[in-house]
Structure 1
Amino acid sequence: MAAGGFCRLPNGSVVVALELPGPAGSGTGCVRFLVVAQNRARALTRLRNLGLRAVYLRGNAAPPTPDEITAVLHHPDGLIWRTAPDAGVPEVSQELWHPIRTLLRRPAPQA
């Protein structure tokens, strides 16, 4: 189910795209993450440090599109996400990219 890929940029850095199942109870199906880093190992380490422990990149089946690369390069954190389009639906998504902190934010305790 997990798909991903990478693209090396002219300056030597790498943009990694990973599609993973969304968090339990979040209501999101799959989530597509984009990370920019100096190399693939550092990109995956950034995701692992955020709690996504079982993240691996095998192959280059779903590399980031030019629009995705532009989005992650223009984000100050260099780490963004949005829900992945369903199979059979065109790749064009109307959803905006979100910073990673919105996905990892814990809900406020109920009083």
Structure 2
Amino acid sequence: MATGGFCKLPNGTVVVALNLPRPAADGSGSVRVLVHAQNRARALTRLRNLGMRAVYLRGNAAPPTPDEITAVLHHPDGLIWRTAPDNGVSTTELWRPIRSLIRPPVARV
């Protein structure tokens, strides 16, 4: 289960924000994932189709901020992430496409 929330936009679509454990071998920290979709169910389905099977949204404890909504709306995939801020303190880290979180890093020679 993850903490998160959603915001319904004037055009009827939603932005869902979830704090999830980082999918890494060391398990360090968590990530904030934003999804833009037609409704909450489709947003969660998009994440489950990427392999995040145990993703659920219960309640609206941590809805996306206006800055987060702007970031996901301006991304062509409508699916982005960054490291979750500690203790609610804002971070200056840039948003990244979800494929950089799912795919293992490529070893450079």
Do both proteins adopt the same fold according to a TM-score greater than 0.5, normalized to the shorter chain? Answer: yes
Unmatched runs of 5 consecutive residues or more in structure 1: none
Residue pair 1:28, 1:83 contacting (<8 A) in 2 also = no
Instruction: Answer with 68-77 or 22-31: which moved more.
Output: 22-31
TM-score by length of 1: 0.90
TM-score by length of 2: 0.91
Matched to 1:98, the amino acid is R
Matched to 1:78, the amino acid is G
Q: How does 1:1-111 map to 2 (within 5 A)?
A: 2-25=2-25, 28-87=28-87, 90=89, 92-108=90-106
Q: Deviations over 1:62-81 (max 9, x none)?
A: 00000000000000000000
Distance in structure 2 (CA, Å) of the matches to 1:108 and 1:94: 25
Matched to 1:80, the amino acid is I
SS at match of 1:44: helix
Unmatched runs of 5 consecutive residues or more in structure 2: none
The percentage of counterpart residues that share the same residue type is 76
Structure 1's 59 and 102: CA in aligned 2 closer, same or farther, altered over 3 A? same
Residue pair 2:2, 2:55 contacting (<8 A) in 1 also = no
Residue pair 1:3, 1:19 contacting (<8 A) in 2 also = yes
Distance in structure 2 (CA, Å) of the matches to 1:56 and 1:80: 17
* TM-align CA RMSD: 2.0
Per the TM alignment, residue 109 of structure 1 is displaced from its structure 2 partner at its CA by: 6.8
